[in-house]
Amino acid sequence: MESAIPESLRTEPTKARTMNAGYVPPYPAWTTRFAADVKQVVMAYFGIQSKQKLDIDSLEPFTYRFIGDDAPGYWVPAYEQDSKGYHNLITIGYWADVTTFHRWAKQSGFFEWWHDNERETENIGYFLEIYYPEIGQFETIFSVQNAPEGIAHLAVSMSDEIQEHGYYGSMRDRLPCAQIDDLNHEQSRVGSCTSQSHTRIKLQGRKNLCLIRSGQDWSYTQDKERRLYLAQVEPVLQKGMLFLRDEGSAEGCINCRYMTVLDKDTGQPTERTFGLAQFIDLEHLEAWAKSHPTHVEIFGQFMNYVQTMNYQINLRLFHEVIVVPEQSQYFEYINCHAQTGLLKYK
């Protein structure tokens, strides 16, 4: 068993850890290991919004550019219908280097297309939410060692079993930057506009914004396990995600999307979902996870499920959590309704 924080990112901590000395986790989990030359990654969310149902081809302005040496190392499309009834398609692209991402955006013609005023005359909406975390500003965790998701597709390997999981506060203990930083937010207004027209709005970032993408893959489950997950766990998970979407502001949740992963070729829904939520800081995410009734219910139903299965489950779980400074965030919305993403707090 090893620490979730690799040796190269360990430092003399000035902030207390939550994990007790000699702690042994109740079940195994793993995290990602990156090449030594990976210093800062890119997680880019490209979105399209419409009152009408969208098909996978609607993402082509983004995805047909995902070719060549500078293309994302991994990308995945997903869908949700939001609180206003609008259909939203996104594709998430991951790059292991900021320079490569900007070179792709320029040479592929994406930047030129995105900034063209013609986007503002179309009858659909677009949004762009980009995060540039340094290697010490994010953490990942997986319930299966050889089942990468998200940024893990850019890693060189998975760790051995890690120690920092299975207790409240373990997210913070896995974050390298939390060794010396409380990662608290500032009392500034969330999402202040830096530029605005009637149809195109750009928002500034804010200090220590926290993003979590937490996913579930039940495609490997069968029979009793599948029935238990779909009847007992998934409904309360969805309930919790919709609470964060519609009422999460009191918990420090700026925005939440509960999304279904789509097949890249057919656009059909898969048996994979994820919650995607922005919190004003890590502390607010931790507080919701520890004590809010919606998450307590999620955790309780999940524990009933795994205990019923005698801890032998084929469900695959993962999450990636990032905490980034304001200069490592980029948000822009074109023709989107006022409750889209971070616009509700501009």
- Check 87, 165, 284, 319 and give the catalytic one: 319
87 given a catalytic annotation = no
Residue 269, both tokens: 């829904």
Catalytic residues: 319
